[in-house]
Amino acid sequence: LVDLKWRFSLLVFILAYAVTWLFFGLIWWFIAYCRGDLDHLEDHAWTPCVNNLNGFVSAFLFSIETETTIGYGHRVITDKCPEGIVLLLLQAILGSMVNAFMVGCMFVKISQPNKRAETLVFSSHAVVSLRDDRLCLMFRVGDLRDSHIVEASIRAKLIKSKQTQEGEFIPLDQTDLSVGFETGDDRLFLVSPLIISHEIDERSPFWDVARHQLEKDDFEIVVILEGMVEA
């Protein structure tokens, strides 16, 4: 439900309540019909299950009033109807579950970070260059919004095919690229655009790769930035 488009989510939201009201309204009408309440509408000595319930429409309205706890006071259940009391309990419990489920889905859908993620921008290109006399793979990340991201952390993975020494072929092998985990530089304070650096040393998967080989290799680097907005 959370991943549905808004028009389908709203349709499910409306149907969840409408179907519940109709279903219990039909049961309220059925109880009145089976007890003979509809045949004694003008008999003031008769005690119906629900006062002033004279058909399916009024049963449907009573179902809405019961589940939404509106209580206009015109239609009310009597204490001479044990099956109605049981149904009242069931509808109250099920109505609370429907409310919790649907409101929870709407809240999660509204708070999805899709729009927030669009304000996080990465540089179009990554470069390999000397930095402090060390060869580094670098790219830039920035936050366009005024509200800062709290406890932001970044990590990078190299994804490429690999042939093991035993001859096994791994099509999507994942290797971590160090972007400062040992020194704490992977925890960011994004008040301005930052340059993220991966030092190409003996532990780097690019250590044995020459420049001309790097240009022809087929691989992908996936960068993951995680954090919480201030709100």
Q: Which sequence spans correspond to the domains of the chain?
A: 6-111, 120-229
Question: What's the pTM value of the predicted model, to 2 decimals?
Answer: 0.59
Rounded to an integer, what distance in angstroms lies between the CA atom of residue 80 and that of residue 82?
6
- Domain 6-111 adopts which CATH fold? Helix Hairpins (1.10.287)
Helix residue spans in the chain (DSSP H):
6-35, 56-68, 82-110, 114-117, 211-216
pLDDT mean over 116-132: 86
Considering only CA atoms, which of 127, 131, 133, 135 is closest in space to residue 207? 135
pLDDT in tens, 144-201: 887 778 888 999 999 999 888 898 999 989 999 999 888 888 899 888 899 999 999 9
Spatial CB neighbours of 209, under 8 Å, sequence gap ≥ 6? 217
pLDDT at position 199 is 93
Q: Which CATH number is 120-229's, of 3.30.70.3420, 2.60.40.1400, 2.60.40.1930, 1.10.150.120?
A: 2.60.40.1400
pLDDT at position 11 is 93
Is 71's pLDDT higher than 90? Answer: no
